[in-house]
Amino acid sequence: MVTLSTLPAAEPDLLRDPHRIAAARRLLVEVPGPAAFDRLSGLAARLLGTGHAKVTLFTDQDTVVGGYGLPPGVVGGPALLTGALSALTVRRGRPLVVPDATADEAVAGLPAVTSGQVASYLGAPLVADSGHVVGVLAIYDPAPHTWSDDDGALLAQMAASVVAELELSAARSAIGASLARLDIALEASSIGIWEQDLRTRAVHWDERCAAIFGFDGAVDIDSTEQMITERIHPDDREVVQQAMREALSGSGEYLVEARVLHVDGSVRWTVSRGRVVTDPAGRPVRVLGSAVDVTAAREQSERRIAAVHRAAAIAEVAAELANATRISQLAEIALRGGAVLGAESIGLAVIDPQDDALYLHLTRQIVDAVASEADVALPADGVQTPLDDALPHQYVARHGERLLFADAASAEARFPRMAEVNALLGTRALAALPLRVEGRLIGSFIVAWTTDHVFTDPDIELLEGLTAQIALTASRLQADRVRADAVAAMTEANARLQLLADAGRVLSGSLDITQQIGQLVELVVPALGDWCWLVVTDEQGRLHELASAHSDPNLSTELEKYVHGMVTVMTDAAAARIVTRTGRPLVLRDIDCARVERALPDPVTRELLLRLGLHSGAIVPLVARGQTLGALGLFTGAARGPHTPGEIETAIEVGRRAGLALHHARLYGQQRALADALQHSMLTDPPEPENCEIVVRYVPAAAGAEIGGDWYDAFLEAGGATVLAIGDVVGHDSRAAAAMGQLRGLLRGISYSSGAPPAQVLTQLDRAVRGLALDTMATALVARLEPGDGGLTRLRWSSAGHPPPVVVGADGEVTALDSEPTDLLLGVDPGTRRRDRVTDLPEGSTLFLYTDGLVERRDRDIDTGTAALAAVLRRSAGLPLPELCDRVLAELFPPDAQDDVALLALRLFPRT
């Protein structure tokens, strides 16, 4: 695709070319209405994501014949402001690409741009069958738009569909004109039409047919027998009846020359021709025919009658050609027209616009003769032949020169290879005429006789008429095929895009790479193959199976066994090793036994492979950051055949996305493992004071969730006092875990060195956070056990926004120490005033400290969680302290928790 600024200097103005204007005017006058072009414009706009589209034809002025998103009244008139951009496209004769009109000097000054109507534009020229640019299919938008090569290709395909609609309308008009000419010809030649109803035996003559017998106006006769008795000469009645019997018994064609009785008593010579019409069950129901008076100058009128019947044959062939759906049908249809000249076989050579190759289509008689004599089965979609001068059909398709050979000798003298053809098919005379549409050569039309044939002017006229009809039909069918191919390509492209979108959704659904890959292989089968496997490399480069899928569920177990055996025994010649070693896709269109044996030396593994159905394959790498992490193998059976280029491109993109997902999963796992190891290394075992037992627990969040900053600490001061600490750094990432380590170390150092009460420790810690620019916030609770009155143990604590301590009495009574609000959390205001709280703990009491992840979840608020904690502690108060902590975690901490949890429990020993 090229932009306007990259186009070469303008050549002579194509917009004013009289031949181009004539070609555009021919199509414009046949436009039936805007519906088809509105639909194609709307489809182009929706597919390419723009608000406006239009189809414009350029004669000596521009005319919009259809559009999408256009103001009322534009269709049928000039294109107004946007017409200048379309005119540029016609002048250039190639696509016009304008991603940002305001930034493109060539179009920035156009009124459509300065008015703000057009900020981006993509136009594809409409090229008629004559090769002239007759208009433009354009899409545009008031916002800039980056056009890709695929966008340009898609719009070009849509432009081909627009041209096909225009050419089809012109062809239909031509056929209608031919039928009108036929009716005029019949009227001028006084040819009558008759119909015989085989069920009622009634006969109907139209006005011209009745006039032959001297009647004024159409005539209906009650029975065939009455018509024969009253109106056929006695000497010719048997001839007429025999001709009808033969038509009804097999041939279906009725032709007789007979004398008829005029109402004035005179005898007239007539020629009647008809055809048997059958019902859906194949039973004859009526005979349709024509009749002409040949009395005067009988010998001279024979030539005139033949010409009329030839015209009728052309019209009949034209009607059948209009209903043809495949080019392979045209030869057999054309044979009915050639039969008027006594021709026995027909050939049709057409140049395929997709590959520019010449394909020869033959009538059934020739196909059967070749199959019988040469024992060769000809393909149903035509025989591809070289576009050279070896045979008449090739020469004419290449040079466009009409060839007529009255006998075999003249044909063989010009084309020596015709001797072989004549010997095989028994042909002698031959005519080869060029197929042209608006001056464009699209093939050749061949008519053959098994006898010598002198070509008269009427013969040549008939042949040229048939050739013109066949050329129009072949051109229409080619246009239909191009349009169908465009629709199929668009459908295939949409399916590939949907598959990639689904792959992206699967690979981003979770961080569980095994689950992702398992869903991915189920997605690509059967979309991209009958079965597949996916293998990955480890740090040593060894391959391991990760997932597989088969379109036949009954073979899933066999496939798993095969993949396991494959990664175990495969050699360096195996496709998986080649792809992971080179990082490039490998396409195997036909996998033979020799390749399988080189790759898999183990016969058991080879046997498993053959059971899966193997014909071709495509193996693509899983690549991320320039590193090949594995391979995806997609395989098809013989029924499906090799992968298409589109499927291979899609498979490569799936492999790339799977490689990135695998890379991210591995990177996340490494980061997670490192953070977990760091966090556990900082959470040390608690001390063992004489008067109490301390138990700690730390549980990380579920796999796939981010790491947290929860922590605990317990240590003995220099004076022997036991200090407890627990906290939660705000955030869930490696930065939070690092901040947790810093805070824990600072708190331990401040408390141990100063011996200060908990409130002072938190105040100094808060100042250190600010002074050391740690840039973090956290909740924390510091508690110290001191001797109390009456043999009790005094608990002094201070809380920086942390959940309150819970005390479980020896009798199982649970009390939350939350009578006063907590102080501000750390990292907000180091000048805030912090307070100590004090309570006495009886012997046998249990102090329970925890982080908020234990009681707060997405599905419940913190008050509900705190009540649940109290209930569990009450039920489990009599358990040993380690079992009590485990019981709390088992009942309150779910497997899929999104936050980590730290617990610290202390139980006072009874005095002895």
Which pLDDT score is estimated for 1?
42
Long-range contacts of 399-404 (CB under 8 A, 24+ apart): 400/434, 400/436, 400/441, 401/434, 402/431, 402/432, 402/433, 402/434, 403/430, 403/431, 403/432, 403/433, 404/430, 404/431, 404/455, 404/460
**Span 859-870, mean pLDDT?**
88
**Span 66-83, mean pLDDT?**
86
**Digit-coded pLDDT (tens) for 345-384:** 888 888 888 888 888 888 877 777 766 665 666 677 788 8
Q: In this prediction, what percent of the chain has a pLDDT beyond 90?
A: 39
**Which carries the bigger pLDDT value, residue 326 or residue 534?**
534
Taking the whole predicted model, whether its pTM rises above 0.85 is answered as no
**Distance between CA 569 and CA 50 in Å, rounded?**
55
Which pLDDT score is estimated for 510?
66
Is the pLDDT reported for residue 596 higher than 80? Answer: yes
Concatenating the DSSP letter of every residue in 207-276 gives: HHHHHHTT-SS-EEES-HHHHHHHHB-GGGHHHHHHHHHHIIIII-EEEEEEEEE-TTS-EEEEEEEEEE
Q: Are 179 and 315 in contact (CB under 8 A)?
A: yes
A 10 A CB-CB count for 738 gives: 18
Q: In this prediction, what percent of the chain has a pLDDT beyond 70?
A: 91
Q: What residue ranges do the domains of the chain occupy?
A: 4-167, 190-296, 327-480, 508-658, 683-908
Which pLDDT score is estimated for 381?
75
Least confident of 177-186, 310-319, 445-454, 465-474: 177-186
**Span 388-396, mean pLDDT?**
91
**Digit-coded pLDDT (tens) for 175-198:** 766 655 656 655 656 788 899 998
**Span 61-81, mean pLDDT?**
88
Confidence of residue 249 (pLDDT cuts 50, 70, 90): confident
Which pLDDT score is estimated for 713?
93
Which pLDDT score is estimated for 6?
43
| CATH code reported for the domain at 190-296 | 3.30.450.20
Of 3.10.20.30, 3.30.450.40, 3.60.40.10, 3.40.50.2300, the CATH number of 683-908 is 3.60.40.10
Of 3.30.450.40, 3.30.540.10, 3.40.50.300, 1.10.3720.10, the CATH number of 327-480 is 3.30.450.40
Which pLDDT score is estimated for 577?
93
Same topology, domains 190-296 and 327-480? Answer is yes
**Cα angle 534, 535, 539; round to 5:** 150
Q: Are 722 and 752 in contact (CB under 8 A)?
A: no
The phi-psi region of residue 72 (left if phi > 0; otherwise alpha if psi is between -120 and 50; otherwise beta) is beta
**Span 562-566, mean pLDDT?**
93
Residue 763, judged by CB atoms within 10 A of its CB (0-12, 13-18, 19+), counts as buried
Which pLDDT score is estimated for 546?
86
Q: Which CATH architecture has domain 508-658?
A: 2-Layer Sandwich (3.30)
Enumerate the H helices of 600-733 as residue ranges: 603-611, 645-682
Place of tokens 């946007």: 82
Least confident of 5-19, 64-78, 284-298, 775-789: 5-19
**Span 216-220, mean pLDDT?**
90
**Span 94-119, mean pLDDT?**
90
For domain 4-167, give the fold. Answer: Beta-Lactamase (3.30.450)
**Distance between CA 73 and CA 64 in Å, rounded?**
10
Q: Are 294 and 312 in contact (CB under 8 A)?
A: no
**Average pLDDT taken over every residue of the chain:** 86
Is the pLDDT reported for residue 3 higher than 70? Answer: no
**Distance between CA 459 and CA 456 in Å, rounded?**
5
